[in-house]
Amino acid sequence: MSNKDIAYDNDDANYKKIKFHIPLLSNVSATSTTTNTENDDYGYLQGDLSIPYSSTAADLKSLVIFAHGSSSSRKSIRNRYVSHILNNNGFATLLTDLLTTNEVNSDIENQKIMDKDREKYYGALNKYNIHLLSGRLTTITNWVIENISEVKGLPIGYFGRSTGVAAAIESAVANDMSNLNSPSHRIYAIVSRGGRPDLAGSDALKNLKSSTLLIVGEKDSKEIIDLNRQALQQLTNSKSKDFMIIPEASHLFDNNEGTIEEVAKITSEWFSKNIVHK
């Protein structure tokens, strides 16, 4: 890896900002993030890493990686707000996209011509391909801890949204099984905001050891709330687990300014309690 693989943003006085591209294919070499536009990044996964300047590596509580199945993860105002609160409480955070630009564009085109068959809908779009998203999240997790010295060795938490929660669960199980002797690779805790943990499948839910918090909005559909409750019951091996309903919150937590603030507060407290520093 060369120095051109990573771009440091020195404009922020409070946080060290690092932007990078992770090449997905072996024949695609990482290039400088300062010269590429987002529309050119068809073979890369993009990430925005934020580390509080006031914290040394020893002071940082952990690295929290955000997982979202759609293209809005890095740019989501709500995700960025939660990330900001976590930064203020001593966490490094990584906002990342699990799909390439080309895959997002493909989803947009395919969705236009799809019928209303929900089963076909889930299988046809990249953002509902849990195995694809899980593999991407594992790739990002391993790449970051191996190549970004500022967070190397930190325990990890996942903050998931929508199908990204299922990907986080599957990735956490895979990491736990493949890195038994490497605590820094373990995913200690997962927080879901309006997610679909049920899409991870029963085997992954039953094998998950990470402490897991499922958060839903009071105004979300009964179906989504029930699916989260059912997923919680299947977390038989999680170190700890909990289920919270945020009053007045919609599925996206965008109908009331205070709802995402409550999510950020609860998330920071959950990670502080459930992620164990080496």
Least confident residue range of 42-56, 82-96, 190-204, 259-273: 42-56
Domains of the chain: which residue ranges?
3-274
Q: How do residues 242-269 score in pLDDT, each as one tens digit?
A: 999 999 898 888 767 689 999 999 999 9
pLDDT at residue number 115: 54
Residue type at 223 in one-letter notation: E
Q: Which residue has the tokens 């294919």?
A: 25
Rg from Cα positions in the chain: 18
The pLDDT-based confidence of 4 (bands split at 50, 70, 90) is very low
Short-list 132, 144, 141, CA closest to 159: 141
Residue type at 132 in one-letter notation: L
Residue 184 near residue 278 (C-beta atoms within 8 A): yes
Q: Domain 3-274 adopts which CATH fold?
A: Rossmann fold (3.40.50)
Burial of 213 (0-12, 13-18, 19+ CB in 10 A): buried
Q: In 10 A of CB 25, how many CB atoms?
A: 8
pLDDT at residue number 123: 53
C-alpha–C-alpha distance, residues 130 and 137, integer Å = 10
Q: Which residue has the tokens 């890095």?
A: 74
Q: What is the DSSP letter of 277?
A: P
